A and B are shown apart, each in its own frame.
Chain A
């Protein structure tokens, strides 16, 4: 509760200092976000494609997201943006299948971030293994807006891990990969490593996890929030 309050105060403070309207509005909304159960909280599931795992060296080359309202993913809100990076995608192309020339034709990172934060206004974030992607977004914001914004996140990996711990289910390496968990919940197999597909996959997984937590009352989100 205290963490929530502190985080809100930080967001409002950042909003006042921020000169970019789209980010300021996001931060303002983030500071006073109403969080209820999954059916009554607007959400946005996000995934990034990266040239590598090191946020000091590597770059964002694609952003995908989709929004959830009233417990349903609105496919019309799907968005996929290729970002032009100045660095070669190198061997990471084997994972995300984006080639240098496609990346070169992409949007500027600033444009992508602008759209992302507009779409994320008034919404909780959903990410799978949030730490990595949030790290990259923070880094990008620093050079874009000169500030590091706050995020309130549902991390599907972390939630599933805690659920399994609580039920005393042993967790092995690889068990908590997005595709592996989805299989347990009977979700379709997707070709992984496209930012939009993974964002959708994460959104579906969040709905599946929420439906299982308690069949009578929908998932209370608060205990599962992570503040960045």
Chain B
């Protein structure tokens, strides 16, 4: 045991310290001083000398100099720095509300810490909008490919002979060599290439290596996060990839194995296992690992965008495996088709609690016999998903339902109906179909349908106006906070549905803007990036919405992870008493940004 690990372990759970490396945490931990305050005892008045304080146990109330209640802080929260109360920065007195153990970071060490770490400094700078952006950023410290590179890549000029390349590879004991055109990567040649393209093909080893290399290999920037890299490699089925700097100069090679080894237990192992199973029962067994995996991803502080993508990637893998099993059971499909998913799975934003929304696009209309095949096929897959815990969609938007298992032409007519004859209810129901993604089969069918639907929606302003009205139907619960902040002790017991009141307003709004911009991407983060890039939304607003989405989601995920670890079914509902004052402040700021974006939308479409 390390001398200070007891302290670093705890600090590691306290934002913003959870973003620091262990070495930095240790340095801070060594400066800490623990003090005990019995209930009612004054701790200090905030000011130059108060430093920063972490509540290790107990609760602290912050009051003004007339002893009026300002805020309450509890275990794992901070005080002592400048704090804004209701939009106003003020001095305060901290006193023990319960017996408490407090860790003090002395003022001198605190200011040194802020000087050395701009991100922390910004976090403590207190203004809500800056804090929000800092809070959204801090958790994004992930391991990069750069951190995994062990040795310099073995490189050879493209003019060198195959023999020279083979000798170099033997000498360096590597199974692949990077072929260079001056300072640029021209290709990659592997053991396998030497076997297949040289020995088996009877090629003269005096020929240039250039002839047998794989030209223009896929490369990854050294600043790619390992999660993103692994996801990409697993999807494209690459085993090793060159890692390059900003000028595309190779820095090393990375293999999927290197990445998997760098992470103790990785969600993508589950994906690998899914592909090995050959019965629904076995898949059900595997799906039991999902809750704890989800909890781990959240507690490890993976960022929310990646958690959404990982969880969805696992759902996709289960779906694809079930489809493969169905094809094996019922024989090859009589008509080419695409299996499509909608809503959060399409957007790659799934969390712990999720149901299934899917459908099928058939290349042409099915005759009765073919229809029977797809009926049995889709029933097998949807039933399987339900058994795995992706329960049936309450609105019956499933391939199981014959209405959502139709030809491409019929799908287009569905969209025509929604777009040409918009009525509030139809528009509300149709919005889920604009988040669409192909998980298996003929993706061209999906591309064609999406491009058709987005073009039609973009052209039809009346439809978009209806959609705008629909978007404004979900308002963030700011009234909730006004009530809340009036409470002196925060005993309000009404709850908050973070999905419907927080996430949905943002995804709706972003979908709306994506349709305006003719963007076919479904993922909300990607949509935000794209609408900012093509000028549909200004960059500041785009960043604000992204930060808001990250924050609300982080709180939702953290709460769901806690429910999962307590053996409860995860919900989207957070009781306000469980929100720390910091979370409440951040949530409120996030909701205010959404409200501003909604106001702008209302103005543009003249709806209220």
Rounded to whole angstroms, the CA-CA distance of A186 and B35 in the bound complex is 13
Please state if A80 and B1 are interface contacts (CB–CB under 8 Å): yes
Please state if B34 and A73 are interface contacts (CB–CB under 8 Å): yes
Please state if B41 and A187 are interface contacts (CB–CB under 8 Å): no
Does B12 sit within 8 A of A, measured CB to CB? no
Please state if B33 and A75 are interface contacts (CB–CB under 8 Å): yes
Please state if B4 and A186 are interface contacts (CB–CB under 8 Å): no
Smallest distance from the beta carbon of A175 to chain B beta carbons, Å?
18
The segment out of A121-129, A138-146, A150-158, A207-215 that lies at the interface is A207-215
Interface centre among B29, B37, B99 (most CB of A within 10 A): B99
Rounded to whole angstroms, the CA-CA distance of A215 and B6 in the bound complex is 29
Please state if A76 and B30 are interface contacts (CB–CB under 8 Å): yes
Kindly identify, within residues 151 to 185 of chain A, every residue whose CB is under 8 Å from any CB belonging to chain B. 185
Task: Pick from B33, B98, B99: contact of A208, CB below 8 A.
Answer: B99
Please state if A78 and B4 are interface contacts (CB–CB under 8 Å): yes
Task: Pick from A186, A197, A208, A212: contact of B6, CB below 8 A.
Answer: A197
Does A196 sit within 8 A of B, measured CB to CB? yes
**Which chain A positions have C-beta within 8 A of B2?**
80
Interface centre among B3, B7, B98, B99 (most CB of A within 10 A): B3
Please state if A211 and B58 are interface contacts (CB–CB under 8 Å): no
Please state if B38 and A211 are interface contacts (CB–CB under 8 Å): yes
Please state if B3 and A186 are interface contacts (CB–CB under 8 Å): no
Please state if A194 and B1 are interface contacts (CB–CB under 8 Å): yes
**Which chain A positions have C-beta within 8 A of B99?**
185-187, 208
Please state if A72 and B33 are interface contacts (CB–CB under 8 Å): yes
Does B57 sit within 8 A of A, measured CB to CB? yes
Please state if B38 and A212 are interface contacts (CB–CB under 8 Å): yes
Does B63 sit within 8 A of A, measured CB to CB? no
Smallest distance from the beta carbon of B289 to chain A beta carbons, Å?
27
Smallest distance from the beta carbon of B435 to chain A beta carbons, Å?
45
Does B100 sit within 8 A of A, measured CB to CB? yes
Please state if B38 and A75 are interface contacts (CB–CB under 8 Å): no
Smallest distance from the beta carbon of A196 to chain B beta carbons, Å?
7
**Which chain B positions have C-beta within 8 A of A75?**
4, 7, 29-34, 103
Does B101 sit within 8 A of A, measured CB to CB? yes
Q: Across the two chains, which residue of chain A brings its CB closest to B10?
A: A188
Please state if B6 and A187 are interface contacts (CB–CB under 8 Å): no
**Which chain A positions have C-beta within 8 A of B33?**
72-75
**Known: A208-B99, A211-B41. Is A78-B36 also a contact (CB below 8 A)?**
no
**Known: A72-B104, A187-B57. Is A208-B1 also a contact (CB below 8 A)?**
no
Please state if B4 and A188 are interface contacts (CB–CB under 8 Å): no
Please state if B1 and A186 are interface contacts (CB–CB under 8 Å): no
Please state if A211 and B37 are interface contacts (CB–CB under 8 Å): yes
Does A114 sit within 8 A of B, measured CB to CB? no
Does B56 sit within 8 A of A, measured CB to CB? yes
Rounded to whole angstroms, the CA-CA distance of A79 and B104 in the bound complex is 19
Rounded to whole angstroms, the CA-CA distance of A203 and B100 in the bound complex is 14
Please state if A211 and B36 are interface contacts (CB–CB under 8 Å): yes
**Which chain A positions have C-beta within 8 A of B34?**
72-73, 75, 200, 203-204, 207
Smallest distance from the beta carbon of B94 to chain A beta carbons, Å?
16
Does A106 sit within 8 A of B, measured CB to CB? no
Rounded to whole angstroms, the CA-CA distance of A83 and B392 in the bound complex is 61
Q: Across the two chains, which residue of chain A brings its CB closest to B27?
A: A76
Does A135 sit within 8 A of B, measured CB to CB? no
Task: Pick from A190, A204, A215: contact of B36, CB below 8 A.
Answer: A204
**Which chain B positions have C-beta within 8 A of A190?**
6
**Which chain A positions have C-beta within 8 A of B104?**
72
Smallest distance from the beta carbon of B109 to chain A beta carbons, Å?
10
Please state if B1 and A196 are interface contacts (CB–CB under 8 Å): yes
Smallest distance from the beta carbon of B108 to chain A beta carbons, Å?
14
Rounded to whole angstroms, the CA-CA distance of A216 and B29 in the bound complex is 31
Rounded to whole angstroms, the CA-CA distance of A147 and B27 in the bound complex is 39
Smallest distance from the beta carbon of B22 to chain A beta carbons, Å?
15
**Which chain B positions have C-beta within 8 A of A78?**
3-4, 6-7
Q: Across the two chains, which residue of chain B brings its CB closest to A65?
A: B3
Please state if B3 and A80 are interface contacts (CB–CB under 8 Å): yes
Q: Across the two chains, which residue of chain B brings its CB closest to A81?
A: B3
Task: Pick from A196, A207, A208, A212: contact of B3, CB below 8 A.
Answer: A196
**Which chain B positions have C-beta within 8 A of A196?**
1, 3, 6
CB-defined A-B contacts under 8 Å, sample of 29 = A71-B35, A72-B33, A72-B34, A72-B104, A73-B35, A75-B7, A75-B33, A75-B34, A75-B103, A80-B2, A80-B3, A185-B36, A185-B99, A186-B98, A186-B100, A186-B101, A187-B36, A187-B57, A196-B6, A200-B6, A200-B34, A203-B34, A204-B101, A207-B35, A208-B36, A208-B38, A211-B36, A211-B41, A215-B38
Chain A positions within 8 Å of B, measured between CB atoms, are 71-76, 78-80, 185-188, 190, 194, 196-197, 200, 203-204, 207-208, 211-212, 215
Q: A76-B29, A76-B31, A188-B101 are known; give 14 further A-B pairs, CB within 8 A.
A: A72-B104, A73-B34, A74-B32, A76-B4, A76-B32, A78-B6, A185-B99, A186-B101, A187-B99, A196-B1, A204-B34, A211-B37, A211-B41, A212-B38
Chain B positions within 8 Å of A, measured between CB atoms, are 1-4, 6-7, 29-38, 41, 56-58, 98-101, 103-104
Q: Which 3 A-B pairs have the closest CB atoms?
A: A186-B99, A76-B30, A72-B33
